[in-house]
């Protein structure tokens, strides 16, 4: 599906686009107005467990970059589900990394509070740093995200029966909400991570639809996912109530999910009116509309793209099926999709390509902070579709499609205009050292230029 675009090389992204943000006929998206000083919307960022290694992106970097101060939720990616249908952790290559989670000692330089971990403390690693981050930013909620593309393998089995759902949810609450981590030398033990996580984010990719090569899926996943969501809501509320009855401060545990953009995946796995009763909010995918594995270059995250996937179409698809706009937190990419061997000339968009462009960690994928450098290098031309809200760079051979601060400010204005729930970012390590993408969304959601 290819459409003509209005393209402007190195153009200024005009906010005049807001004039066309009114809801389409028949779609219940009520516009709302907010003062320019109001703090509007949720800001949800994903922190990747594995990013502390090759990327050297530590929890402390969320603080020093200024990102943490602008977030409402931080999703820790990911927790896994075993073949027995239970949440688990350990040191199993490719399956779990307790070393990164809570065993790895951090020195003073890499610690949020500037104090080195000791050999005897029960909680170290990312989990302890997240606890320190929350102490420094009391308004920040930390969520455990379960699954993801690679670790959704056993979700369908875990959700299959009422008994398996109860066992699955109970195991996740025991491990992450109650904080009963497995003993790993001096680390872990009963209650060692108690109070760290403020809720659960479900990243089952995807109920009722094909996901990763080994991920099980069934036609009955849709009703089982609905029941699983309700089981999480029931057990989280029951645990909160039990804590309050013992004199502890009453609290609410958030329940959220990462959800798809493709209509067929939505319809196959999501009974939207029912699940939205139990979710605090969901994060619709707002990126990977086109990916570097395709033979033709295309936008990966445009705000508007008539006749194609877009953020606006994703939002309308969810609302049309029964989602409340205020519970839709729009996904935004902190990375780009890229192609090389692009032929056909022009600006590179909509042209045949040989394959994915070379990336730092994976071909076809590159962090925004790297793409920013390429855009400024003089080797690439920056193009903008000012009307439809997208940007890309092209050097005559290699093309990258990505979101920069100008695009994200436009998307943030769209979120405010339509009364949506906020913005979600995958993932925080793709931003610059001073968090310029996070800051752009913060300003946009606050109504600032």
**Residue ranges making up the domain that contains 154:** 31-335+405-445
pLDDT in tens, 409-444: 999 999 999 999 999 999 999 999 999 999 999 999
pLDDT in tens, 345-372: 999 999 999 999 999 999 999 999 999 9
Q: Which pLDDT score is estimated for 447?
A: 93
Assigned token pair, 152 = 């959704």
pLDDT in tens, 216-260: 999 999 999 999 999 999 999 999 999 988 877 779 999 999 999
Q: CA–CA separation, 287 vs 371, rounded Å? A: 16
Beta-bridged to residue 367, according to DSSP, are: 335
The answer to whether position 263 is within a domain reads yes
Are 49 and 97 spatial neighbours (Cβ–Cβ below 8 Å)? yes
The answer to whether position 111 is within a domain reads yes
Q: Using 50, 70 and 90 to split pLDDT, how confident is the model at 29?
A: low
CATH number at residue 227: 3.20.20.80
Share above pLDDT 70 across residues of the chain, in percent, rounded to a whole number: 92
- Residue 26 scores a pLDDT above 70: no
The answer to whether position 290 is within a domain reads yes
The answer to whether position 150 is within a domain reads yes
For the chain, the C-alpha Rg in angstroms (whole number) is 22
**The model scores a pTM over 0.75:** yes
Segment 81-99 shows an average pLDDT of: 97
pLDDT in tens, 143-200: 999 999 999 999 999 999 999 999 999 999 999 999 999 999 999 999 999 999 999 9
Q: Which pLDDT score is estimated for 378?
A: 96
- Residue 317 scores a pLDDT above 60: yes
Q: CA–CA separation, 205 vs 354, rounded Å? A: 28
Residue 268, Cβ neighbours under 10 Å: how many? 18
Those residues whose C-beta lies under 8 Å from the C-beta of residue 297, and which sit 6 or more positions away, are 290, 339, 342, 348, 349, 350, 351, 352, 353, 399, 401
Q: Per the residue annotation, which of 86, 205, 231, 436 is the catalytic one?
A: 205
Are 124 and 180 spatial neighbours (Cβ–Cβ below 8 Å)? no
What distances in angstroms separate CA 94 from CA 49, 57, 97, 304, one per listed residue?
12, 19, 8, 37
- Phi, psi angles (nearest 5°) of residue 366: -150, 140
pLDDT in tens, 281-300: 999 999 999 999 999 999 99
Segment 21-45 shows an average pLDDT of: 58
The answer to whether position 211 is within a domain reads yes
The answer to whether position 115 is within a domain reads yes
Domain count, the chain: 1
pLDDT in tens, 181-192: 999 999 999 999
Q: Which pLDDT score is estimated for 246?
A: 80
The answer to whether position 186 is within a domain reads yes
Q: Which pLDDT score is estimated for 20?
A: 40
- Residue 21 scores a pLDDT above 60: no
Task: Report the mean per-residue pLDDT for the chain.
Answer: 92
Q: Which pLDDT score is estimated for 244?
A: 85
Q: Which pLDDT score is estimated for 25?
A: 37
Segment 267-280 shows an average pLDDT of: 98
The answer to whether position 363 is within a domain reads no
> What is the residue whose two structure tokens read 């009855």?
245
H helical segments located in 204-329: 221-245, 263-269, 272-278, 311-320
- Residue 201 scores a pLDDT above 90: yes
- Residue 47 scores a pLDDT above 80: yes
pLDDT in tens, 126-142: 999 999 999 999 999 99
Whether 205 is a known active-site residue: answer: yes
Q: Which pLDDT score is estimated for 8?
A: 31
Segment 73-82 shows an average pLDDT of: 98
Segment 327-341 shows an average pLDDT of: 98
Those residues whose C-beta lies under 8 Å from the C-beta of residue 70, and which sit 6 or more positions away, are 43, 435, 438, 439, 441, 442
Q: Which pLDDT score is estimated for 18?
A: 43
């Amino acid at each position: 599906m290819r459409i003509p675009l209005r393209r402007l090389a190195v153009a200024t992204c005009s906010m005049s686009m807001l004039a066309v943000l009114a809801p389409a006929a028949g779609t219940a998206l009520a516009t709302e107005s907010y003062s320019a000083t109001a703090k509007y919307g949720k800001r949800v960022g994903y922190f990747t467990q594995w990013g502390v290694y090759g990327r050297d992106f530590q929890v402390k970097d969320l603080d020093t970059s200024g990102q943490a101060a602008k977030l409402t939720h931080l999703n820790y990616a990911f927790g896994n589900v075993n073949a027995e249908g239970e949440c688990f952790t350990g040191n199993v290559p490719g399956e779990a990394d307790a070393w990164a989670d809570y065993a790895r000692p951090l020195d003073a330089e890499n610690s949020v509070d500037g104090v080195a971990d000791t050999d005897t403390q029960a909680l170290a690693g990312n989990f302890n740093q997240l606890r320190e981050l929350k102490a420094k930013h009391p308004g920040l909620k930390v969520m455990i995200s379960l699954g993801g593309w690679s670790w959704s393998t056993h979700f369908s089995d875990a959700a299959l029966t009422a008994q398996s759902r109860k066992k699955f949810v109970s195991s996740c609450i025991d491990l992450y909400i109650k904080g009963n981590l497995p003993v790993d030398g001096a680390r872990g033990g009963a209650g060692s991570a108690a109070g760290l996580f403020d809720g659960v984010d479900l990243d089952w990719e995807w109920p009722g639809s094909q996901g990763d090569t080994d991920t099980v899926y069934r036609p009955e996943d849709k009703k089982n996912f609905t029941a699983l969501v309700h089981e999480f809501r029931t057990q989280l509320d029951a645990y909160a109530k039990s804590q309050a009855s013992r004199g502890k401060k009453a609290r609410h545990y958030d329940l959220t999910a990462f959800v798809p953009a493709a209509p067929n995946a939505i319809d196959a796995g999501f009974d939207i009116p029912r699940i939205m009763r139990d979710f605090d909010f969901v994060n619709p995918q707002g990126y990977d509309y086109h990916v570097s594995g395709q033979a033709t270059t295309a936008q990966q995250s445009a705000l508007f793209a008539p006749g194609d996937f877009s953020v606006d179409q994703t939002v309308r698809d969810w609302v049309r099926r029964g989602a409340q706009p205020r519970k839709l937190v729009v996904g935004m990419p902190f990375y780009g999709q890229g192609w090389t061997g692009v032929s056909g000339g022009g600006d590179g968009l909509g042209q045949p390509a040989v394959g994915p462009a070379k990336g730092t960690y994976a071909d076809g994928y590159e962090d925004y902070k790297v793409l920013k450098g390429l855009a400024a290098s003089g080797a690439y031309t920056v193009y903008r579709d000012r009307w439809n809200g997208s940007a890309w760079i092209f050097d005559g051979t290699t093309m990258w499609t990505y979101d920069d601060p100008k695009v994200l400010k436009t998307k943030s204005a769209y979120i405010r205009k339509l009364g949506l729930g906020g913005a979600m970012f995958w993932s925080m390590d793709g931003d610059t050292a001073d968090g310029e993408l996070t800051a752009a969304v913060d300003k946009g959601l606050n109504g600032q230029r």
